[in-house]
Each structure stands twice: as C-alpha cells, then as structure tokens.
Amino acid sequence: MTFNVLISDPLSEEGILPLRLADNVKVVIETGLSEEDLEERITEFDALLVRSGTQVTRSIINKGKNLKIIGRAGVGVDNIDLNAATEHGIIVVNAPNGNTNSAAEHTMAMLMALSRNIPQAYLSLKEHRWDRKKFVGVELRDKTLGIVGLGRIGTEVATRAKGQRMNIIAYDPFFTKEKADKMGIGYGTFEEVIQQADFITVHTPLLKETRHLIDAKAFGRMKDGVFIVNCARGGIIDEDALYEAIVSGKVAGAALDVFEEEPFMDHKLLELPEVVATPHLGASTVEAQEIVAVDLCKDVLRHLNGESVINPVNLPSLPKDIMKKVEPYFYLAEKLGAFLIDLVSEVAEEINVSFAGELYDIEVAPITRNTIKGILKRHLGMHVNDVNALYLAEKKEIVVNEQKTPQAKGFTNLITVEIKTKSQIRKVAGTLLNGLGPRIVHVDNYRVDVRPEGHMVVIEHIDQPGVIGRMGSLLGKHDINIATMQVDRSDRGGKAIMILTIDRHLDEAALNELLQLDEIKDVVAIDL
C-alpha cells in the first residue's frame, strides 16, 4: 500500500529525506494553499505535514477522509484543531526537541540585544551617527531573570542565564521548590516571579489559561524599568498593554520574536525605540530546521507503518523505556475488549479495566485506550482507534475506570476487563505468558486457556454427559472443524462454559441449531 503525504509548508529537504527514501510513501509538496484549496486537496492524502503557516481547521479535517496523521514541524500546535483531529481518530504529532537549543539561544540573543541596545545602536551607525551616550545599556550580571514556564526551552534558558551570572527565579505549574533547589535556582509563584524580576522571559504554550497572561494587571505588579522577552508564543503577552507599559516607563524595553497575528508589520509597538523585534526566528537555524523535519518525518512513517509514535500531541507521551514495557500488551488488551463486548447483549454503561502483577508499577493508560478501542470498534467500526477511543466512550456516556493491584492471582501479569450494563456484569481476563504470547485465562468466573485470535465460539451450557459429543456432531454436519476446546464448570451438573476455536466463521444456521440443543443456554460467535 502506498501512502500519500502532503507537505503544505516549507520543510528542509534534508529533513524529509526519510519520507523520500520510504518505498511505500509518495510525497507531494504544495505550499501557500488557501483553506479552500487545502480542503479540496486533502481528501486524497493519508498524512499532512505543516509548520506554523498552515491553519489546519476543523473544516479541513472534516474533508480529510483518508487522513491518519497530522505532523507539526516544531513545538506549538495551536494552528491545528486538536479536538477535531481527536474526534476523527487522527493522531497529531510534533517535533518538540529539535528546536530546543535554537530557541534557547535566540532567547539569550534577544536578552543581550535588549540589555545593550544592539539593534538600535547598529541602525544608528548605519545612518552615520555615533551616539555612544544614547545607547548605554545594563549588565545581566547580578540581575534577576524571571522565567515563566520551565519546560525544555525554559530550562535551557535558565542554564545559559546562570552562565551570565544572573539570579534565576522561575514559575511553572509542574515545578516545585525541590526541583528548583536541585537546579540551583529560585522558585516562586507567578506573582512572585513577575514582582522580583528585572528581566522576564515567558516560555509557556498558548492555552486558554495563558492567553494574555502578561496583561495590564501583571505589568502593574512588576518593578519599574523591567525588561520583557517573548520568544515563545504570540498572545501570551497583551500587546496593547505592553505598548502602554513601555510608553508609561513601567517597562524599559521588550524583545519580541512572536506576535498575536503574524506577519506582524503595522502594530504601534514597532514604532517604539525600546522594542527589539524579529520575525519568528526562534527555530530558524539550519540545524533546527533539519532536526525537526527529520524527527517529524520519522514519526509519521512510524504511524503509517503501524508502529507507535514518539511525540504524540493528542496522546500522552511515554518515555521509550516505559513504552517498551507496555506495548506488548496492546494486542492482548484490544482482543480482550473485542472478545468481551460480543458477550454483552445490552448497552455498556461502565467499563472497568484492572491491572495486576508487574503491570502495577508501570504506566497503563495506553493499554486502557487499546482495551476501549477493542470494545468500541465492534459497533463504531474502524473509525475508532487508540487516539479517540476514550473521547468516543465519553461521548457515548460510558464511564471508564482504571484500577491497579500488585496481586495477580498466580500470574506474572493480568488484565481484567469488566463491562456493566443495566442488568449484566460480564468480565474477561488475560495475560502474556512468557514465550507463549497472549492468553484469555478467565471468562466471568470460569478458568480457561485460549489464544485470542481467529474464529471462536463461546457456548454456555449445563454440565451433563453427551453435550460435547452432540455439539461436535452438529458442527461436523456443517463442515466446521474444531481446532481447540476449553471447558470449565461452576459445579458438577451446574452451569458450564465451552470455548472453541474453529477453522471458519460460525454461520447463523449452525448457531441456531446449537441453540436448539436442550442443554445449551447461549451461543456467541466471535471473530478476532
């Protein structure tokens, strides 16, 4: 199968080499498309790769009937409608690591240019003026740098600023005093950071909560003569409020690489001599452009070839060592869900997924998603995948619970899936046996040992002599061969279960004849 990949923003040719070299990928580069043009073109593509120039709207995603993955060459994905992508089961990936060094270096360059008036002095010299006194700057040494957002780039900026002998105080919602002490920097709340800092640099994503995080009220809390740097995302700083703060003298200067609306050409901020600005150059180095494109293209290839991606945006990301531990359970989890839903005759209201044994100590959320995918695919089809499974379950008002326990009842690992309806509770459990692969080991309260694959028949019956023989004869009459059989009972002469693996699908005629046998209470044909 050949996959069609559309690249709608300029990417490094060296970076897209992994796609060029893939035998099953056809690359089309069409930049500068309007939204209407992209809506028309996207229908034939399996993957869409963009930078910040293309706005991937809900309307575009709705048109992408074959779209499986959207890739953003860079960190921010605010130009992609993540909710729409998730609803359609389209995974979104980015390349968060490739431009870390480039962005951190650009932040430091802007910080120094701002403190020493370098662009203004250069422009003055180009105009044949020698104004040494006009461009007296300030040193960074012993000044306090407030960092709002201490992710990858913020952390790199902190490391570099320490090299300039600055005092660092940082705020991040996932940052603690213990982490600050370990890094050798100060820790504070957002308010404490902006109150104490001589220079403030922001490194947060643009979210509903961070839009205009630095507004007029925030400027009012800052020191007089503070300097502001934004090389993160446009919109974190209220540009009109920044203009007023500079004009009033509250802010001594600002260095801006990103803006609320780009291209940023006519805003009154650019008229102020205290403002240093660049046209979104944070990731614009030869090295960064190549690295982000390579990282992105490799992830797109992984997904198209059925492998796990490294940098999902609308899926929680896991370190490689953890993914290596959980990935072997994905197949088992999906098959358990698919097997169980066929045993349920009513609408599922609640799904409980329990993990035991060695699974107790690892991240199991991806396994849960694969379980839910297996359950929902039975009724919603291939539209369901591990990207949108939990979202679709929520939309169907199905409650999903996840539990873990160290006790695995004699197994090294055990996954138990339970579905509750208004009047039913059905459950199935499975394990990975070392060297033997996945097994179903419990169905409700019955013990079995079944490989979850192929054509299966689950028969609930009364434990009486001759049942197995009559059942076998009936299947033989329909030319259905039995490959394996598992039988367990609650007690002698009581309820029992029989699970068969057969060579072909159990057709309706054979199923109905089985149900005519007095001892058989229910028959379910399952194809895994």
153/282 Cα distance (integer angstroms): 11
- Considering 51, 72, 203, 233, which one is annotated as catalytic? 233
Q: In whole angstroms, what separates CA 88 from the centre of its chain?
A: 14
211/204 Cα distance (integer angstroms): 10
381/88 Cα distance (integer angstroms): 12
- Considering 280, 439, 470, 505, which one is annotated as catalytic? 280
Of the candidates 231, 2, 249, 10, the residue with the CA atom closest to the CA atom of residue 108: 231
Decide if 489 is catalytic: no
- Considering 30, 44, 262, 394, which one is annotated as catalytic? 262
Would you list the DSSP string of 103-163? HHHHHHHHHHHHHHTHHHHHHHHHTT---TGGG-----TTPEEEEE--SHHHHHHHHHHHH
CA distances from 427 to 294, 304, 331 (A): 44, 33, 18
Decide if 280 is catalytic: yes
Residues 288, 282: contact at Cβ < 8 Å?
no
52 Cβ neighbours under 8 A, 6+ residues apart: 9, 74, 76, 79, 262, 280
CA distances from 473 to 78, 462, 467, 477, 526 (A): 63, 18, 10, 6, 20
Decide if 262 is catalytic: yes
Provide the annotated active-site residues: 233, 262, 280
